[in-house]
């Protein structure tokens, strides 16, 4: 069983090399470096702080987009090329296949996090960059699990990508929206407003607090320490198990 999982994860990584995923990652690094150096020339004060803030935000979004596109496109290709049917025709459990793909994607996310964090070492404190990179990896872990859920649900690239980006964006801003709804400038007591307030509060319980992950202020103001990662790790494990359960439930009920 363990050998099957490792084999599937190995070929997942090999597929990323064939698709020039890491070449794309290096291209993003080059573009990011050129962009922040140009912006640094335009900044009047606090050049390093400005460069670190813009670079961190750009790299975080780039990492999410790159990993999501690869996870969705590679898995859809296996579905359409009947590769998944050939694999499942062999004595391989669907759970082992899912776990193997998950581990392979995690390895890719780890490499992307390390490469992007290496560029940030030029502009921020090394300890803060390490914490930021670990947080980015945990954020990508949730994005990978969410991508597989959306893919097994919709089986189409546009629908899966739309679902991932909508949920990711909502997870990033839902806490801010909840605070604005809870403490409005002008109080509203209508039934519709109460319903929306309750709905937004429900989303804060269902969605992960991604605004706590990979914060730019860690790099600009050196506010993070090792204890910052503990609640993020706990949240990552909980949502990873939850999303994996949903994905496996949907995976097992499908007929290939």
CA distance 130 to 226: 10
Q: Which residues fall within 8 angstroms of residue 39, CB to CB, at 6 or more apart?
A: 50, 51, 54
**Two tokens at 68?**
């999501």
Q: For residue 174, what are its two tokens?
A: 């839902």
Kindly state the DSSP code that residue 81 receives in the 8-state scheme. T
Share of the chain above pLDDT 90, in %: 39
Supply 99's token pair.
Answer: 């776990």
| pTM reported for the whole predicted model | 0.90
132-153 confidence digits (pLDDT tens): 999 999 999 999 999 999 988 8
Q: Sorting pLDDT into bands at 50, 70 and 90, what band is 93?
A: confident
Residues with Cβ < 8 Å from 147, sequence gap 6 or more?
67, 68, 71, 72, 160, 164
pLDDT per position as a tens digit, 2-41 = 777 788 888 888 887 787 888 889 999 999 999 888 877 6
Range of the domain at 140: 2-253
Query: How many structural domains is the chain composed of?
Result: 1
Q: Determine the pLDDT at residue 37.
A: 83
- 35-51 pLDDT, tens digit each: 888 877 666 666 778 88
């Amino acid at each position: 069983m363990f050998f099957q999982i490792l084999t599937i994860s190995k070929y997942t990584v090999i597929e990323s090399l064939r698709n020039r995923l890491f070449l794309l990652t290096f291209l993003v690094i080059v573009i990011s470096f050129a962009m922040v150096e140009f912006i640094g020339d335009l900044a009047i004060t606090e050049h390093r702080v400005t460069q670190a803030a813009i670079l961190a935000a750009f790299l975080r979004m780039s990492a999410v987009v790159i990993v999501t596109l690869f996870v969705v496109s590679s898995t859809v290709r296996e579905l359409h090329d009947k590769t998944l049917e050939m694999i499942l025709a062999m004595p391989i459990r669907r759970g082992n296949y899912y776990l193997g793909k998950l581990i392979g994607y995690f390895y890719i996310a780890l490499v992307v996090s390390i490469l992007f964090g290496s560029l940030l070492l030029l502009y921020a404190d090394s300890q803060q960059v390490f914490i930021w990179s670990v947080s980015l990896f945990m954020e990508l872990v949730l994005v990978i699990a969410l991508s597989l859920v959306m893919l097994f649900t919709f089986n189409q690239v546009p629908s899966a990508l739309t679902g991932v980006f909508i949920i990711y964006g909502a997870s990033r801003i839902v806490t801010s929206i909840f605070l604005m709804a809870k403490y409005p400038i002008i109080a509203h007591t209508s039934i519709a407003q109460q319903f929306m307030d309750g709905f937004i509060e429900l989303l804060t319980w269902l969605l992960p607090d991604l605004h706590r992950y990979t914060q730019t202020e860690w790099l600009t103001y050196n506010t993070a320490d090792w204890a910052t990662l503990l609640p993020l790790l706990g949240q990552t494990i909980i949502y990873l198990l939850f999303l994996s359960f949903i994905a496996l439930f949907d995976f097992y009920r499908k007929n290939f």
